[in-house]
Amino acid sequence: MKLSEDFLHFVWQFRLYPAESLQTCCKQSLRILQCGLPNKNAGPDFLNGKMIIGETTWAGNIEIHIKSSDWYEHKHHLDKAYDNVILHVVYFDDKPVMRTDGTLIPTLELHQLIEPDLLLRYGTLLENMNDFPCQPQIGNIDSFVIEGFLSRTLVERLIARSEEVFLKLKEQKGNWDETFYQFLAKNFGFKVNAVPMEMLAQSLPQQLFAKHKDQPLQIEALLFGQAGFLQQSFKDEYPNALKREYAFLKKKYQLSAMEPSIWKFMRMRPQNFPTLRLAQFAALVVKSNHLFSKILAAKDHQEIMELFEELPVNPFWSKHFHFNKETPKAELQLGRESIHNLLINTVSVFLFAYGKAMQLQNYQTRALKLLENISAEKNAVVKLYANAKVNVKSAYHSQAILQLKKNYCNEKKCLNCGIGIKILKH
């Protein structure tokens, strides 16, 4: 098994070696008082350590390598930033190391100090072929440990997704309502039609709808017309009315319709056809002008849910999935799962991002509470962890698990994972 410096960092930070009767490679007694703090920036690996070497108390930094000679491989002997290193911690000591002034740096060799069982557990985690490294062990870990680390991965996920919001917000010159509208439109495409929905929203700024807020037919005409669905002949009056309205609005606002072929219908349930999703999106625009402001003002998760329920979808769509094709019956309203998808992937992210940007912790807390009150997502990744006996109670947990899998398990960063650390330490 090939050892990594990250593993030695882990051993040093958590003192996974016998602390009594330590000696440097020069046979000086060594007593560790403080291991120091991990350094995430350039320079020595641990800062502000404290120890007694021989009869002298030292305070300074600690550098860690697999072999002592790595000191020279990494050119530290030429870098004055490493002159305040008071201890060189290595797995193998193969060469004495010096500071830039030629003074010897005390070295601690870990080769004989690390327990074989710890090395075995480390190797088992990193070298197995499971769906995720700790799949066989995670079910035996205290739920308190798992909950604690999932809380961290959830916040990491929301922070990362907030950065996407901030980039778009900058493009929109700080307009939160418009930024939210564009993200929501993209989410309404539910992956398959996410890109065309985003393009559509970008071509129809929300302020345009504000001019027609009491005219549902015109809002529907703008969306269907701009999406390219009104370029054919129709037999029913409703689509013909939309076509007439769009012809007028297109000229008025100098609009250019999208190519209809960009929309995907193949291998989709009719309930998810983009035409019906557009009808529901139009109804949401009609019902809730400046939707994000209403979400910020909502008292609880139930009030937010209600904003997406009982949408005034045109009754034409109760018997259609296409403009020129009838169906016995279609469900006009967004299903509960679809609403949850929108709340998870747009609403919770924006509540968190807004709280972060405005330094208002209550909105970040509301984002977490919202996820706690939504059912866990059902997908292959979440199922893996649930089958391994991880308690997945809500979207709070399923979102955290997606982050855990992507950023820790897939990368085998067990040494940076609270769950992996618990397995290795015991």
pLDDT digits (tens, 9 = 90+) for 181-190: 999 999 999 8
| Exposure b/e, 160-193, CB count within 10 A at least 16 = b | ebbeebeebbeebeebbbbbbbbbbbbbbbbebb
Question: Range with the lowest mean pLDDT among 91-95, 209-213, 244-248?
Answer: 209-213
DSSP helix/strand/coil, 19: coil
How confident is residue 326, by pLDDT bands cut at 50, 70 and 90? confident
Q: How far is CA 296 from CA 136, 158, 180, 276, 307, in A?
A: 43, 17, 12, 28, 12
Average pLDDT on 120-125 reads 90
Alpha-carbon dihedral angle through residues 380, 384, 390, 393, given to the nearest 10 degrees: 10
How confident is residue 337, by pLDDT bands cut at 50, 70 and 90? very high
pLDDT digits (tens, 9 = 90+) for 161-174: 999 999 999 999 99
Supply the DSSP string of 50-67, one letter for each residue: EEEETTEEEEEEEEEEEE
Sign of CA dihedral 126, 130, 135, 137: negative
Average pLDDT on 86-102 reads 95
| Predicted confidence (pLDDT) at residue 64 exceeds the cutoff of 80 | yes
Which pLDDT value is given to residue 1?
65
pTM, whole model, 2 decimals?
Answer: 0.88
Nearest to 139 by CA among 425, 421, 419: 419
| Exposure b/e, 194-219, CB count within 10 A at least 16 = b | eebbbbbbeebebebbeebeeebbbb
Sole residue written with tokens 């305040």: 84
pLDDT digits (tens, 9 = 90+) for 339-393: 999 999 999 999 999 999 999 999 999 999 999 999 999 999 999 999 999 999 9
Which pLDDT value is given to residue 272?
87
Mean pLDDT (the chain, rounded): 95
DSSP H helical ranges for 236-300: 237-253, 274-287, 291-297
| Predicted confidence (pLDDT) at residue 268 exceeds the cutoff of 90 | no
| Predicted confidence (pLDDT) at residue 299 exceeds the cutoff of 80 | yes
CB 59 within 8 A of CB 86: yes
What percent of the chain stands above pLDDT 70? 100
